[in-house]
Amino acid sequence: MTHNLAEGFARNFLGNAPLWYKQAIIGFLILNPILFLVTTPFVTGWVLIAEFIFTLGMALKCYPLQPGGLLAIEAVVLGMTSPESVYHEIEANIKVILLLVFMVAGIYFMQNLLLYVFTKLLVKVRSKVLLSLLFCFVSAILSAFLDALTVTAVLITVAVGFYDVYHKVFSKGHVPKELADAHTEDLSKFRAFLRSLVMHGVVGTALGGVCTTVGEPQNLLIAETMGWNFIEFVEVMAPITFPVLICGLITCALLESQSKGMFGYGMKIPENVRNILIEFSEEQDKHRGHKETAELIIQGIVAIILVFALAFHVAEVGIIGLMIIVLLTAFNGVIEEHQIGHAFEEALPFTALLVVFFGIVAVIHDQHLFSPITNLVLSMDVSQQAPMLFVANGILSMISDNVFVATVYIGEVKAAFESGSISREHFEDLAVAINTGTNLPSVATPNGQAAFLFLLTSALAPLIRLSYGRMVIMALPYTFVLGGVGLASLIYFT
């Protein structure tokens, strides 16, 4: 109970977030105008980035949309960027926004098919190493021809489905005493099991996404700038992407082969949980009527349409997503507004957060926060530029957005080529460095790749206790392998 109006305002601000967190955000909002007045917009801009990363890191304490949004609004008010610049960033990324709004909702209407397929896979493949390799490799292949966010949406849907199956058994209360006694330990192990599978899968989206023009948004931008078609892009990137893919899969196998739980990997599914999933699968098969079977068939047909539509790029991904929603809801009888509305609950908060993130990116752009690094790299000896560009792009992608970083750097390099400062051959080497540099080391943090950020802020993350810090730790071995092998391949194979 609040004792006065001031206390009421204080309690309402950021809701149930811890008091220290509220005080930190208020401190940031007070600090920024002071820094802006006594230092420079450049310094304030870098502090703003650090503050925004803090809000992402505390995503389980408070969804980053509100605190991050307040920081972005303040940046506009202070004049560090403008509404026009923010709109320009949104306009440049409208394809990603459409994808999130419609494709993620489309995947929601496929959840029964996905749960059916992956439950069969989970109960039949007993080897955690093989299962992890399957998740990683299939995610890589799908991301090479579809896109990372769509594949991540599938991973999230599958993992939430597994968790719900297990949770519903215990929420009903009718479980044997020995299962109830082991529930707490099994739940903790099951969460660790799901965390590792999902992380292998989402890293797989980075392994596959770097290979082709459609894998990541910046790939297409780079390909268009260089005049490379799909096959040419694959061939140019292969000396780096192929060794990285092989080493990434080896890393996946090694992480799951150890039993010490290093970096959060190695946990096998508890036998009690496996038995519950087997029973669920058998129960579903036994009671599946003609209506439910027809729904699965429709979802299977639409899934095939989705794969071909994305592989042949018949339209922008978001538009294809809308088509999937129409087909699945029409032929499976989902025709009431509130039923359709549930599909958008997962994607829209993240879409709003991504727009806020574009506001921070607008500050980076308007205040030229990356310019000193760009100038330093391009002033180096020609033989050092490609490796250093890889490193610079990797580091900046960890704290910013890899699409934005790639856009900035390919523009700078193109300008250098058009001015006659570099040759065409060197221009191609630098383009390869930019593509691989923004795609591979950026797995280090959720900031770098939209798929990772989507996972962190999804409904799945709190269920399996996947925090920002835990994601960074779990990504660490992959960061060193993908970054190290990518850099070595760039130096020795190109």
Is there a contact between 398 and 453 (Cβ–Cβ < 8 Å)?
A: no
User: What mean pLDDT do residues 60-66 have?
Assistant: 86
Report whether pLDDT(29) > 70.
yes
Query: Which pLDDT value is given to residue 172?
Result: 60
Report whether pLDDT(173) > 60.
no
Is there a contact between 47 and 32 (Cβ–Cβ < 8 Å)?
A: yes
* 3-class secondary-structure state, position 457: coil
pLDDT grade for 74, boundaries at 50, 70 and 90: very high
- Distance, in Å, from the CA atom of 338 to the CA atom of 342, rounded to the nearest integer, reads 7
- Distance, in Å, from the CA atom of 256 to the CA atom of 247, rounded to the nearest integer, reads 14
**What residue type is 315 in one-letter code?**
A
Find the range with the poorest average confidence among 138-152, 160-174, 293-307.
160-174
pLDDT digits (tens, 9 = 90+) for 464-484: 999 888 999 999 999 999 999
- Distance, in Å, from the CA atom of 114 to the CA atom of 132, rounded to the nearest integer, reads 17
Helix axes 230-257, 128-145, angle to 10 degrees: 160
Report whether pLDDT(155) > 90.
no
Find the range with the poorest average confidence among 35-39, 176-180, 355-359, 380-384.
176-180
End-to-end CA distance of the chain: 67
Angle CA 273–104–231, to nearest 5: 105
Query: Which pLDDT value is given to residue 431?
Result: 92
User: How many other C-beta atoms are found inside a 10 Å radius of the C-beta of residue 176?
Assistant: 9
* 3-class secondary-structure state, position 305: helix
Is there a contact between 21 and 14 (Cβ–Cβ < 8 Å)?
A: yes
Find the farthest-apart pair of alpha carbons in the chain and give their distance in angstroms, rounded: 77
Number of H helices, E strands in the chain: 25, 0
* 3-class secondary-structure state, position 316: coil
Structure tokens at 286: 């036994």
User: What mean pLDDT do residues 29-35 have?
Assistant: 95
Query: Which pLDDT value is given to residue 413?
Result: 85
Query: Which pLDDT value is given to residue 1?
Result: 57
Query: Which pLDDT value is given to residue 348?
Result: 86
Find the range with the poorest average confidence among 90-94, 251-255, 352-356, 478-482.
90-94
Angle CA 411–368–363, to nearest 5: 110
pLDDT digits (tens, 9 = 90+) for 128-145: 999 999 999 988 988 887
Average pLDDT over all residues of the chain: 86
Report whether pLDDT(168) > 90.
no
- Distance, in Å, from the CA atom of 13 to the CA atom of 327, rounded to the nearest integer, reads 42
Higher pLDDT, 106 or 150: 106
Residues 6+ apart with CB under 8 A from 467: 57, 59, 60, 461
pLDDT digits (tens, 9 = 90+) for 213-224: 877 777 877 888
pLDDT digits (tens, 9 = 90+) for 404-418: 788 778 877 887 888
- Distance, in Å, from the CA atom of 204 to the CA atom of 372, rounded to the nearest integer, reads 33
Structure tokens at 210: 């770097």
- Distance, in Å, from the CA atom of 194 to the CA atom of 273, rounded to the nearest integer, reads 12
- Model confidence pTM above 0.85: no
pLDDT grade for 20, boundaries at 50, 70 and 90: very high
Structure tokens at 161: 């489905």
Structure tokens at 253: 């196998």
Residues of the chain with pLDDT > 70, as a percent, come to: 96
Is there a contact between 65 and 353 (Cβ–Cβ < 8 Å)?
A: yes
Query: Which pLDDT value is given to residue 346?
Result: 73
Query: Which pLDDT value is given to residue 472?
Result: 92
Is there a contact between 11 and 2 (Cβ–Cβ < 8 Å)?
A: yes
pLDDT digits (tens, 9 = 90+) for 387-440: 999 998 898 888 777 777 887 788 778 878 888 888 889 889 999 999 999 999
Residue owning tokens 């799945």? 460
pLDDT digits (tens, 9 = 90+) for 309-360: 877 778 887 898 899 999 999 999 988 888 888 888 877 888 898 899 889 8
Is there a contact between 436 and 240 (Cβ–Cβ < 8 Å)?
A: yes
Of 58, 86, 60, give the one whose Cα is nearest residue 74.
Answer: 86
